[in-house]
Amino acid sequence: MGSDTIFSKIIRREIPADIVYEDDLCLAFRDVNPQAPVHVLLIPKQPIPQLDAAIDADQALLGHLLLKAKTVAEQLGLTRGYRLVINNGPDAGQTVDHLHCHILGNRPLAWPPG
């Protein structure tokens, strides 16, 4: 499931990344084009192209990602709040076909975001 993406190459350590968290199921690293003072991408190691491609069997993994987003935010000192963003498809701004959560913080974030 999924294609060989830049994120797959980061998981395999073929491309360097500033990794801030890792466990058996996911990896978090700093975005190379940050949109906030803290901008980390949290990705599952199992490639799922986008949220629409997730299936019922992915439920535990998706829950794990949300809980680890909280862990990463705490680790990075985002005590005043943070935003989680999952872009789904090209019209939403998804540029890598590997499900990922953006963790953004350390600045006020306006609403609506787009």
Answer for the pair 71, 21: CB distance below 8 angstroms, yes or no: yes
Distances (CA, A) of 14 to 6, 7, 9: 9, 10, 5
HSE, CB side, 13 Å, CA atoms: give it for residue 54.
Answer: 18
Question: Among the options 39, 98, 100, 102, which is catalytic?
Answer: 100
Query: Is-catalytic flag, 100?
Result: yes
Sequence-separated (6 or more) residues with CB below 8 Å from residue 92: none
Cβ proximity of 80 and 11 under 8 Å: no
Residues classed as catalytic: 100
